[in-house]
Structure 1
Amino acid sequence: MSFTLAIVGRPNVGKSTLFNRLVGKRLALVDDQPGVTRDLREGDARLADLRFTVIDTAGLEDATDDSLEGRMRKLTERAVDMADVCLFLIDARAGVTALDEMFAEILRKRADHVFVAANKSEGSAADAGVLEAYSLGLGEPIRMSAEHGEGMHDLYTALLPLADGYAERAEAEAPEVDVAVDEDGEADPEGVRKPTKARPLQVAVVGRPNAGKSTLINKILGEDRLLTGPEAGITRDAISVQMDWDGLPMRIFDTAGMRKKAKVQEKLEKLSVSDGLRAVKFAEVVVVLLDAAIPFEQQDLRIADLAEREGRAVVVAVNKWDIEDDKQGKLRDLREAFERLLPQLRGAPLVTVSAKTGKGLDRLHAAVEKAYDVWNRRVSTARLNRWLTGVLEAHPPPAPGGRRIKLRYMTQAKTRPPGFVVMCSHPDKMPASYSRYLVNGLRDDFDMPGTPIRLTLRSQSDKNPYKAKKKAGPSKLRKHLGKPPRNS
């Protein structure tokens, strides 16, 4: 991306709507009520032939204390300092307010390049507000409507001269794309993809509200990138942050806290939870964060089960470990509860961390890396069939109706997560207990703890393919050979 554009302005002026239009997707949550956006959200924007990074910010408030609004304003000011260009958005229908004038003065001092845009300017009712925008002293305002896509050409015209100046910097900072290679050094398109800066590892942190997800990610980043605080439910959008965690390129997603479905009544919270579920579906590794004081609540189990059903690699992390007194006894109880309540994730990593002090982050890093490697694991067909022979000798399959189910052949069909296919007779009669026996054996014998394993049984007929065909008699055989019948 050639440059970074930050969209700033008062609450409810249409910043997230413009962000979604520039990235071409409905990434940011949009609602009629003000103050929906709280964190900084980055996206890859496209405007004609321009490619740049756009940042959606929280609405600027006249607050500088440690309140939620004050913390949101500090994050927005940080985005202004990070960005190359700032787009100051006002509501053309409401006109220029005292807050707009105050923030325009701040932008003049902190930003190198500032453009003012009068949003919601469709129709004649916004003419007066567009004219008032000249009084901000930030040059000619761009008249636009983010909802209807009007004014995009004028925005392109304003950004084009600056884009040329940042093009050389973007080319120098472009990452190199690594290609998987085989043992001979040749390109291997089917090889296990190693995370790179261009294609980082996708990690989603999920859990109940106030479990410490944003605080944990801030501690990993080493900076206050995400909005945190004692209030439950601060995070609304699924915010992604790209980073390099001890040599592991990663894009980590902070998601909104997920409460029980019956308690989610407001439209905005429903949108937040849906955004978090979408992050789980696109992630490769899911970190389920628990509160050490109340671990393995019913909602925690639902979240972990969701990640397993989606086929993601799962790591269970227990936060707020610094306030525990009897750590050994608590850890023993956690492991027992984990094995009892989440048997489908048997062997998955269980690590204890403290997002406040940073203890346990090295163990979390190792657990995420191992879970990703196991998720990509491939076993050769020869090894699988040797293993299958031994398993069948140790514990033969059942014989429903007096006819034993024959397992003939096994192969791995896919990875991410590992998926196996077994060719057998009467797959519809195979009991679920024996399928679990095979899955657990795969976990133990091929070192695949915790990762979801998909086992598919397919029918392979043992009938003679020539049995149904009628055997040719002597007369037909002589006719085929061109000989006359015997009685002629």
Structure 2
Amino acid sequence: MGATVAIIGRPNVGKSTLFNRLVGKRLALVDDTPGVTRDRRPGEARLGDLRFTIVDTAGLEDADSASLEGRMRRQTEEAIETADAVLFVIDARAGVTPLDAHFAEVARKTTRPVILLANKAEGRAGESGLFESYSLGLGEPIAVSAEHGEGLADLYDALKPYVDQVDAEEAAAKEEAVTNVDVDEEGELIDAEDPVGTRERPLRVAIVGRPNAGKSTLINKLLGEDRMLTGPEAGITRDSISVDWEWRDRHIKLFDTAGIRRKARVQEKLEKLSVADALRAIKFAEVVVITLDATNSFEKQDLQIIDLVAREGRALVVAINKWDLIEDREAAWKKIRDANERYFNQIRGVQIATLSGMHGQGVDKLMESVFTAYDAWNARVSTAKLNRWLERVTVNHPPPAVAGRRVRLRYLTQPKTRPPHFIAFCSRPEQLPESYTRYLVNSLRQTFNIHGTPIRFSYRKGENPYVARKKR
């Protein structure tokens, strides 16, 4: 995927719809509201036998550089600087606007090749706008409809000189040959046999939390560049943006997500889409870093997000951000430790890292915690060790007797990891109280050092050898 193509244009001309059309998935949020996209979002595009990286960008607006719109424009300008070709998109139905003309002048000054697209050109309604677009001085426009997939053949011919071609049949054969695969957040196939942390299979880490907890600032500090749009405004991030990063020779795919507020407060359609995108990132991540504001940590919403991660079965790391703003750190740490003991019932021993995303303090400790949590998420215990442990714990604390008969735990095995899943074979499992299951899970964590990850524990009832005899 050598070539990179950026999509630019004023707000609400259909850039994200075109992005989704080229990547073949609904990755970017699409809404009638102008200015939905804020950060630049890359994706792997396919157009016939062309393979390239497509970058969706924020709508170009004429605003002060210190404002949110100005910072969004700077993100778009950086996308243009790193692109091999640029798709300048206008709305054919609206015609050429003064804003189109203003930014067309900017596009003409770039050294990158610019391809002019007149989107929404289906039917006769877009004909006048298509002819008007010649006045922009960007060459012959291509009439397309990103919504309906029209005009892609002409777009193929325009992009062909700038991007790589592959043998489509050979690429399809390679995909069909992959049998042991996993799927990432963007729907791409990953060979499950590749070691995690390599270029072929980076560790997937989602950064989540409430709005304004410093998630994007933290990612920018990790990357060492202003890759994500940040600012004092809450809720800047909307799309879940993935970026590749390398830490100590280990490859990682970071996911920046929108802030997750309480469900009752999420009223607008656009925020609902953003939260759904964040929840999708959690589902496909391997490790989830929940970012808390040190000045206001462990609110009810924080605990609900932690509970969500536990139910999804992801490895969890808690990052206490803005630690540099805390004056009495000893008292604050005691409060965090107490909260850990009180609230983290489903994920005992979770990794907690204090840091400052603004100044980069504690980020190495955070990443060490991420890989520790990932190792626990993949923990596997041999059946022999499990049954020796089971014999010991049932002697020390036998299962309760129900109606004068004691429930017997006969055998324990671990069929799955990611997260660790244990199955106990026993008689009358429905009569075992929840408290005894918690005792077994906590003992498993302590004995085999499985901390910072959910543990699934279920029971299976053995067959009664006397059932057939009773029927006879």
TM norm. shorter chain > 0.5: yes
| Secondary structure of the corresponding residue to residue 147 of structure 1 | coil
For residue 397 of structure 1, the aligned residue among 396, 399, 409 is: 399
Q: Over residues 203-262 of structure 1, what are the superposed CA-to-partner deviations in whole Å (9 max), with x where a residue is unaligned?
A: 111111100000000000000000000000101111111111222211111111111111
For residue 264 of structure 2, the aligned residue among 262, 284, 291 is: 262
For residue 382 of structure 1, the aligned residue among 363, 381, 384 is: 384
Provide the rounded CA distance (Å) in 2 between the counterparts of 1:318 and 1:105: 46
Provide the rounded CA distance (Å) in 1 between the counterparts of 2:450 and 2:199: 27
1:65 maps to which residue? 65
Counting only pairs closer than 5 Å after superposition, residues 10-409 of structure 1 correspond to structure 2 as 10-164=10-164, 193-409=195-411
Range 26-35 or range 100-109, more displaced:
100-109
Contact preservation (8 Å) 1:3, 1:166: no
The structural deviation recorded for 1:161 is: 2.4
The structural deviation recorded for 1:191 is: 6.6
Contact preservation (8 Å) 1:121, 1:144: yes
TM-score, normalising length from structure 2?
A: 0.92
TM-score, normalising length from structure 1?
A: 0.89
The structure-2 alpha-carbon separation of the partners of 1:191 and 1:141, relative to structure 1 and needing over 3 Å to count, comes to closer
Provide the rounded CA distance (Å) in 1 between the counterparts of 2:7 and 2:306: 36
Provide the rounded CA distance (Å) in 2 between the counterparts of 1:392 and 1:355: 46
The structure-2 alpha-carbon separation of the partners of 1:425 and 1:39, relative to structure 1 and needing over 3 Å to count, comes to same
The structural deviation recorded for 1:2 is: 3.4
1:483 maps to which residue? none
The structure-2 alpha-carbon separation of the partners of 1:5 and 1:272, relative to structure 1 and needing over 3 Å to count, comes to same
Range 299-308 or range 239-248, more displaced:
239-248
The structural deviation recorded for 1:192 is: 8.3
The structural deviation recorded for 1:109 is: 2.3
Q: What amino acid is aligned across from residue 412 of structure 2 in structure 1?
A: M
Provide the rounded CA distance (Å) in 2 between the counterparts of 1:142 and 1:190: 42
Provide the rounded CA distance (Å) in 2 between the counterparts of 1:165 and 1:21: 18
Q: Over residues 73-115 of structure 1, what are the superposed CA-to-partner deviations in whole Å (9 max), with x where a residue is unaligned?
A: 0000000011111100001111122222222222222242110
Q: What amino acid is aligned across from residue 386 of structure 2 in structure 1?
A: L
Provide the rounded CA distance (Å) in 2 between the counterparts of 1:124 and 1:194: 52
The structure-2 alpha-carbon separation of the partners of 1:364 and 1:463, relative to structure 1 and needing over 3 Å to count, comes to same
| Secondary structure of the corresponding residue to residue 369 of structure 1 | helix
Contact preservation (8 Å) 2:49, 2:166: no
1:423 maps to which residue? 425
Provide the rounded CA distance (Å) in 2 between the counterparts of 1:207 and 1:142: 42
Q: What amino acid is aligned across from residue 326 of structure 1 in structure 2?
A: D
The structural deviation recorded for 1:190 is: 8.0
| Secondary structure of the corresponding residue to residue 125 of structure 1 | coil
Provide the rounded CA distance (Å) in 2 between the counterparts of 1:460 and 1:262: 45
2:446 maps to which residue? 444
Contact preservation (8 Å) 2:194, 2:201: no
| Secondary structure of the corresponding residue to residue 309 of structure 2 | helix
Provide the rounded CA distance (Å) in 2 between the counterparts of 1:165 and 1:44: 14
Contact preservation (8 Å) 2:50, 2:166: no
Contact preservation (8 Å) 1:192, 1:376: no
Give the length in aligned residue pairs.
Answer: 453
Provide the rounded CA distance (Å) in 1 between the counterparts of 2:464 and 2:94: 78
The structure-2 alpha-carbon separation of the partners of 1:431 and 1:64, relative to structure 1 and needing over 3 Å to count, comes to same
Contact preservation (8 Å) 1:314, 1:371: yes
Contact preservation (8 Å) 2:194, 2:200: no
Provide the rounded CA distance (Å) in 2 between the counterparts of 1:338 and 1:129: 60
Q: What amino acid is aligned across from residue 48 of structure 2 in structure 1?
A: A
Q: Over residues 436-466 of structure 1, what are the superposed CA-to-partner deviations in whole Å (9 max), with x where a residue is unaligned?
A: 1110011000000121000110001353477
What percentage of aligned pairs have identical amino acids? 61
2:172 maps to which residue? none
Provide the rounded CA distance (Å) in 1 between the counterparts of 2:48 and 2:11: 28
RMSD across aligned C-alpha pairs, in angstroms? 2.0
Provide the rounded CA distance (Å) in 1 between the counterparts of 2:273 and 2:458: 35
| Secondary structure of the corresponding residue to residue 124 of structure 1 | coil
Contact preservation (8 Å) 1:2, 1:166: no
The structural deviation recorded for 1:195 is: 2.3
Gaps of 5+ in 2: 168-177, 182-190
Q: What amino acid is aligned across from residue 320 of structure 1 in structure 2?
A: K
Provide the rounded CA distance (Å) in 1 between the counterparts of 2:369 and 2:156: 45
The structural deviation recorded for 1:165 is: 8.4
Range 317-326 or range 121-130, more displaced:
121-130
